[in-house]
Structures are given as C-alpha cells and as structure tokens.
C-alpha cells in the first residue's frame, strides 16, 4: 500500500477555532470529526468484545478531546499502553470509556501550521491499512489527516 506523508489540515466551516484551545486538552471539550485519507473514522459497533479496532465508515464518529483523550459517546479511541516493540504500525482501538487508562493519551501538536493529532510521544500519525486504523511508527507511512471542528 502506497504511503503518503501526513499533513493535518484544519478546516473550519462556520467555526474558527483558536489553535491554543485545542492544545489545552485538559479543559477542551471541542467536538471534532477525524478524517484519514479522505475517510471518516466510524463509530464502533458494539460486538461484546472489550476492544474494537477502528475502521472507516459512516456514521462518522464525533470526538471530544478531553484530558488528552479522544471520546465518542461511551467509547475512547487510542493506542494501547502496552504494545509490541516492533516498528510495525500499531493498532488504533476503541475501548469503553471506563477503560480509557489502558490507552495512551492523544496529543495535539502545532508546528506553525494546522494542528495534528499524534497517537504517541514519538509522533505517530494515522493510516487506514486494509480498512483498519493504525498509527504508523515509521515516518512517511502516515496518510493525510484532517480535523474538522464542529459547531456546538
């Protein structure tokens, strides 16, 4: 699968968000859509499993960024705290809200341009690989990601 260099693009429709608001995740309750390679991250379908790997689709998940965590309803999205140590892309999973501590915090970074969501301290972006959401570790394997703020 061809990989593309990730650049997050902040697109606002009616709402102009100050980047500082997003970077102070501990108090931020902004609603956003996350679009990876032109596809929205779908809401999870509860199948009774404790973890569900994120996939593209509709309806698109609407996220709240709170205390460095991405929430959508009763679910939280992120990478597990304990993963294999390979350089392979890491799974991005849905966990029930009460298990959020098992997920790594999400960071919003601003390098003078649009904000970017990072799913680890080493700066992993996002990519859909075979219709599953991953956080590639190797630079250049990320896909373009857009953060769409939503009006309240």
At 60, is the pLDDT very low, low, confident or very high (cuts 50, 70, 90)? confident
At 49, is the pLDDT very low, low, confident or very high (cuts 50, 70, 90)? very high
Q: How far apart are the first and last CA of the chain?
A: 37
In this predicted structure, the answer to whether residue 14 has a pLDDT above a threshold of 50 is no
Averaged pLDDT, 59-73: 89
Q: CA geometry: angle at 33 spanning 17 and 62, to 5°?
A: 110
Averaged pLDDT, 32-59: 85
Q: How far apart are the C-alpha atoms of 50 and 52, rounded to whole Å?
A: 7
Q: Could you tell me where the DSSP H helices lie in the chain?
A: 19-23
Delimit the domains of the chain by residue range: 8-149
Q: How far apart are the C-alpha atoms of 134 and 2, rounded to whole Å?
A: 14
Give the fold, CATH level 3, of 8-149.
Trefoil (Acidic Fibroblast Growth Factor, subunit A) (2.80.10)
Averaged pLDDT, 9-37: 37
Q: How far apart are the C-alpha atoms of 5 and 32, rounded to whole Å?
A: 22
In this predicted structure, the answer to whether residue 29 has a pLDDT above a threshold of 50 is no
CA 146 to chain CA centroid, Å, is 10
Alpha-carbon distances, residue 28 vs 22, 25, 53, 60, 124 (angstroms): 6, 5, 25, 20, 22
Percent of the chain with pLDDT over 70: 69
């Amino acid at each position: 699968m061809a990989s593309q260099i990730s650049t997050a693009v902040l697109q606002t429709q009616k709402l102009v968000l100050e980047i500082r608001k997003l970077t102070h995740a501990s108090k931020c309750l902004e609603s956003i859509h996350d679009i990876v390679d032109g596809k929205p991250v779908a809401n999870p379908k509860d199948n009774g499993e404790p973890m569900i790997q994120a996939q593209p689709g509709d309806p698109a998940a609407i996220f709240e960024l709170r205390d460095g965590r991405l929430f959508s309803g009763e679910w939280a999205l992120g990478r597990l705290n304990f993963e294999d140590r390979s350089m392979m892309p890491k799974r991005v999973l849905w966990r029930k809200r009460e298990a959020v501590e098992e997920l790594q915090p999400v960071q919003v970074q601003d390098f003078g341009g649009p904000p970017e969501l990072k799913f680890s301290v080493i700066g992993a972006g996002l990519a859909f690989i075979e219709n599953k959401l991953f956080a590639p570790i190797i630079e250049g394997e990320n896909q373009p990601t857009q953060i769409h703020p939503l009006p309240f």
